[in-house]
Amino acid sequence: MVYPVILSGGSGSRLWPMSRIGYPKQFLSLHGDDGVTMLQATAKRVQGSTYAAPLLVCNEEHRFIIAEQLRQVNIEPGSIILEPVARNTAPAVAVAALKLSESNSEGLMLVMPSDHVILDEAAFQQAVVSAAKAAKQGALVTFGITPTSPETGYGYIQRGSDWQGGGQGVYHVTRFVEKPDQATAEEYLSTGDYAWNSGIFLFSASSYLEALERFQPEMLTAARAALENTTEDMTFCRLDDAAFAASPSDSIDYAVMEHTDRAAVVPVDMGWSDLGAWSALWEIEGKDQQGNVAKGDVLLHDTRNSFVHAEHAMVAVAGLDDVIVVATDDAVLVADRNNAQDVKQLVERLKSEGRAEHYLHTTVHRPWGCYRGIDIGERHQVKRITVKPGERLSLQMHYHRAEHWIVASGTALVTCGDKEFLLRENESTYIPMGETHRLENPGKVPLDIIEVQSGSYLGEDDIVRFEDGYGRAPEA
């Protein structure tokens, strides 16, 4: 039995403006037309009798998004572990290994990022089989991607001799090397001994914990303390904040793989991409005769080798080659395709200037549904709120704003002060400033309402929660 461990802590800043900290790329459907998100595709890849229920390690802020996306594809997770702070991959996997050791210390952990594309899943499954043979002998196996070009954006793994008894296609790792310059990458490609570092691993929980005990004892101590003091919150495992924060921050490669003599690699050609930039998505998508990838309502003229994505409004491009154009409802990115990595610097500028566009979309997801900002002024704000069937918002009040609710579709059960009543389509109500209130969907179809807020302060932190069904803080 193989135990999938899915890591979902990245922000995907190079895929801005679609990927943002509050809703990063793993929760988006970027590749293909089936509407499946990258997280869902990762989880679906490890279903079947060979695999146990997946264990996920994620940012605490994303817990309800992950739970909902797994529910949509009928996958029941073994556990969802919440990181109070980011500490890179090595501590996250340490906690997962300790969690698995509670029931099966020799269980094989398949560690995968949640935001990678794998086009040849048969090749992936065969690589897992090969890696498992060596992992059962104590190897710490990484998946090395057979390079197709002299890429300078990936780390490389040099393979050595065959792993004896590990099965065909498993090799000792000679060394890990950092992202090379162009000339070095071309040399690596010509030798045939190097593979791209995918960040996918397979090893037993005990082997990984033994390596941490040897090379990163402080990290292991912090992970143990964080897990020992967990609290169960609905279906989530919430780590102890202070204990986990005390852990050193490091990747699996730096913390363990570069030091151990048990490192092994399985070279595999499986149509892999980490989608590290818009240019990577352009490379794997189907193109027209001019080499363009167009998604959404796009009009192109005299344009070649470009990626154009229109999320809401129509986007027209004329007379440009090798460009990236991505338009959402609140931001437009235009970049040279060869400078796609520089999008991260734009996001850093947005962050340093205190702009909200780096963090949230206009549509914000909540455990009960979502809301979308439609208009905002000095003393008013308009939102469209969607509440899933059977869900409800917290019982709350606001100090600085009043609200008008108009039902666009569905049926609303409204609590306002000591009154409780139903609102149907085209009906409305007023929530005075300072009044305790709640919105609930008692029906079997989504509830859509238009909310008009008015007042001196309209921030999301003007919420006092008296009762909440999702384990959130009393006051946000």
CATH number at residue 9: 3.90.550.10
Q: Do 145 and 266 touch, CB atoms closer than 8 A?
A: no
From 221, 251, 273, give the residue that closes a domain: 273
Q: At what angle do helices 89-101 and 205-215 cross, to 10 degrees?
A: 130
- Domain total in the chain: 3
One domain, residues 295 and 166: no
Whether the CB-CB separation of 75 and 39 falls below 8 Å is answered with no
Where helices occur in 353-403 by DSSP H, the ranges are none
Q: CA 397, CA 417: separation in Å to the nearest integer?
A: 10
Asked which of 217, 242, 273 is the last residue of a domain, the reply is: 273
Tell me, yes or no, whether 376 and 437 share the same domain: yes
Q: Are residues 243 and 135 in the same domain?
A: yes
Both tokens of 314, joined, read 């129509």
Q: Would you say how long the chain is, in residues?
A: 476
Full strand arrangement of the beta sheet holding 363-366: 363-366, 369-376, 380-387, 447-455, 401-409, 428-431
Please list, residue by residue across 239-273, b when 16 or more beta carbons sit within 10 angstroms of its beta carbon and e when fewer do.
Answer: bbeebbbbbeebbbbebbbeebebbbbbbbebebb
**Does the residue 422 lie in any domain?**
yes
Q: From first to last of the 476 residues of the chain, give the pLDDT tens digit.
A: 999 999 998 888 999 999 999 999 999 999 887 899 999 999 999 999 999 999 999 998 899 999 999 999 999 999 999 999 999 999 999 999 999 999 888 899 999 999 999 999 999 999 999 999 999 999 999 999 999 999 888 999 999 999 976 557 999 999 999 999 999 999 999 999 999 999 999 999 999 999 999 999 999 999 999 999 888 877 799 999 999 999 999 999 999 999 999 999 999 999 999 999 999 999 999 999 999 999 999 999 999 999 999 998 999 999 999 999 999 999 999 999 999 999 999 999 999 999 989 998 999 999 999 999 999 999 999 999 999 999 999 999 999 999 999 999 999 999 999 999 999 999 999 999 999 999 999 999 999 999 999 999 998 889 999 998 887 765 44
Q: Tell me how many degrees the CA angle 446-450-452 measures, rounded to the nearest 5.
A: 150
Note whether 264 and 136 are same-domain residues: yes
The values of phi and psi at residue 399, to 5°, are: -80, -30
The CB density around residue 459, as the number of other CB atoms within 10 Å, is 11
Distances (CA, A) of 332 to 17, 310, 346, 471: 7, 9, 12, 36
**476 alpha carbon, distance to own chain's centre:** 23
The structure tokens listed for 171 are 């090799």
Residue 215 and residue 128 share a domain: yes
- Are 38 and 25 spatial neighbours (Cβ–Cβ below 8 Å)? yes
CA distance 352 to 446: 38
pLDDT confidence of residue 476:
44
In order, the DSSP letters of 83-124 are ESS---HHHHHHHHHHHHHTT-TTPEEEEEETT-EES-HHHH
Based on the domain organization, do 105 and 242 belong to the same domain?
yes
Residue 8, domain member (yes or no):
yes
DSSP state of 226: H
- Among 221, 256, 273, the domain boundary falls at 273
State the pairing for strand pair 55-59/79-83.
Answer: parallel
pLDDT at 168: 75
- If asked whether residues 260 and 286 sit together in one domain, one would say no
3-class DSSP assignment, residue 134: helix
Helices and strands (H and E) in the chain: how many: 11, 30
Angle between helices 217-228 and 205-215 (to 10 degrees): 120
Q: Looking at the domain assignment, is residue 475 inside a domain?
A: no
Q: Is 353 exposed, middle or buried (0-12, 13-18, 19+ CB in 10 A)?
A: exposed
35 in any annotated domain: yes
- Do 131 and 148 share a structural domain? yes
Do residues 135 and 63 touch, judged by C-beta distance below 8 A? no
Q: Which domain holds residue 193?
A: 2-273
Q: Is residue 476 part of a domain?
A: no
Q: What is the DSSP letter of 61?
A: G
Shared domain for 460 and 390, answered yes or no, is yes
Which residue type does 475 have? Answer: E
The CATH number linked to 412 is 2.60.120.10
Residue with tokens 């817990």: 63
Which letter does DSSP use for residue 40 in this model?
H
Could you tell me if residue 354 is inside a domain?
no
163 shares a domain with 74: yes
Instruction: Tell me, yes or no, whether 306 lies in a domain.
Output: yes
Quick one: 409 and 291 in the same domain?
no
Q: How far is CA 63 from CA 178, 227, 228, 234, 243, in A?
A: 33, 17, 20, 11, 20
Same domain, residue pair 442 and 462: yes
What's the confidence (pLDDT) of residue 473? 61
The first and second tokens of residue 383, run together, are: 């939102």
Is residue 357 in some structural domain? no
In Å, how far are 9, 119, 141, 223 from 146, measured between CA atoms?
Answer: 26, 14, 15, 34
